[in-house]
Amino acid sequence: MRQRKVLAALGYTIFVLLSLSCGLSVAQTTPQQTTASQTSSFELKNGERVVFLGNSLFENDFQYGYLELALSTRWPDRDITFRNLGWTGDNVYGIARSTITNPPTGYDLLMESLTKAKPTLVFLAYGGIEAQDGEAGLGYFTEGLTKLLDKIDQLGAQAILLSPIPVLTTDLTQNVASRNAMLETYAAAMAKLASQRGKRYIDLFNPIQEIGRKTVITDNGIHLNETGYYYLTTTLEQRLGLAPRFTPVTITAGKQAGVTTGSAKLLPAAKGEPALTFAIDETLLPLPLPADDKPVTNNGPLLKITGLKKGFYTLTADTETLVTASASDWANGIELRQGRLFEQVRELRQMILKKNDLFFFQYRPLNTTYILGFRSYEQGRHVKGLEEQSILIKWLEGQIAVSRKPAASVYQLSPLK
């Protein structure tokens, strides 16, 4: 389960109320119904409400925010709301959501949370817990998943089913191969049901297993670490048919200077400066790199500059030094991994994490029994405080919305002196 952080909610309240008094507001839009199938192109429209519903595969991303960050930056000009309802150890019947207050049951709470989120699109990540019941539990799982899809249809939302991810190593006595074979059996059942219901199904099992052979992507062989969520997110983007975030840029230096590919634009250099000056019109922010690993795939813009004389050249952006490389290295291409875009996306990610922390403690307060349960006569007054968290969440969503569009940068490539 994710590490819980108690936020200074009072400080946030004061800050938000002051900001609101200065005229900050968040535009309201009407959600537009989406349509999806196994083969249709994927797109989030203005007004969408995206819900991540499942077990620890979603809950643990509260620590990293990769899934929301990736999808929200794909359409930076659109109003899209995200809610993470993942719950460690949960199954399609909401068993992990049960409290000592009964009713409501765990399933009741699952339905209540899903309904309250008002989704237009639900990503479903189940099967990992249920697969531990083996062949005997397959029918029960399929029945529960069917009921869950019925509920999502009833709410007028679309559903995308994600397969369980594999066990990469384990300290359990069970054999890893047999455990993974059962996970694949449950994944196949999900794929079959998705096909029957006309829902999109995404296989995560095989690509995650392949990536796990190349680098460490879990903390314990079962739960993904930061690097694992980076790859989970990029895999999801690929399986949804989303284009790469960047297209390579090739620039020719010298007397025949010009842009041959990409979205770069040459700019006049300052008088007397032997520098190649250009701007790159990026439409998407990069995903921030994991702190504990160097990805095996390209993450940032790939820049090729040909026609340079032998020597070393330094690239700067807005007076910040980014990279120094030889003329031959520039001709082969350099991946940019720092600069204003990366600073911007790091700040954006922190806002998403703060917003999700606030939401987590709103819909899963630490003292649930005392605030909402049968002992609410003791601390039930705090329900109002939970409701007021929505003001903070909405304000942060407004800040996220205005921070998703890439900031423009001017680059200069100069000979190393």
State the DSSP string of 103-149.
SSPHHHHHHHHHHHH--SEEEEE-STTGGGG-GGGHHHHHHHHHHHH
Long-range pairs of 263-268 with CB within 8 A, sequence gap ≥ 24: 267/410
To the nearest 5 percent, what fractions of the chain are helix, strand and coil? 40, 15, 40
- Tell the burial category of 275 from Cβ atoms under 10 Å away from its Cβ (0-12, 13-18, 19+): middle
- pLDDT value, residue 258: 77
List, in sequence order, every residue forming a beta bridge with 265; answer none if it has no partner.
279
- pLDDT value, residue 322: 93
Q: Tell me if residue 406 falls in helix, strand or coil.
A: coil
List, in sequence order, every residue forming a beta bridge with 249; answer none if it has no partner.
303
Question: Using only C-alpha atoms, what is the Rg of the chain?
Answer: 24
Distance (Å, rounded) from C-alpha 180 to C-alpha 331? 45
Q: Residue 129: CB partners within 8 Å, gap ≥ 6?
A: 55, 89, 90, 91
Distance (Å, rounded) from C-alpha 271 to C-alpha 398? 42
Q: Pick the closest to residue 231 from 201, 200, 209 (CA basis).
A: 209
- pLDDT value, residue 207: 96
Q: Residue 301: CB partners within 8 Å, gap ≥ 6?
A: 246, 248, 249, 280, 282, 286, 335, 336, 341
Q: Which residue ranges in the chain fall short of pLDDT 50?
A: 2-36, 370
- What's the whole-model pTM score? 0.85
Q: Residue 246: CB partners within 8 Å, gap ≥ 6?
A: 282, 284, 286, 298, 300, 301, 302
Q: Where are the alpha helices (DSSP H) in 198-287?
A: 205-212, 226-239
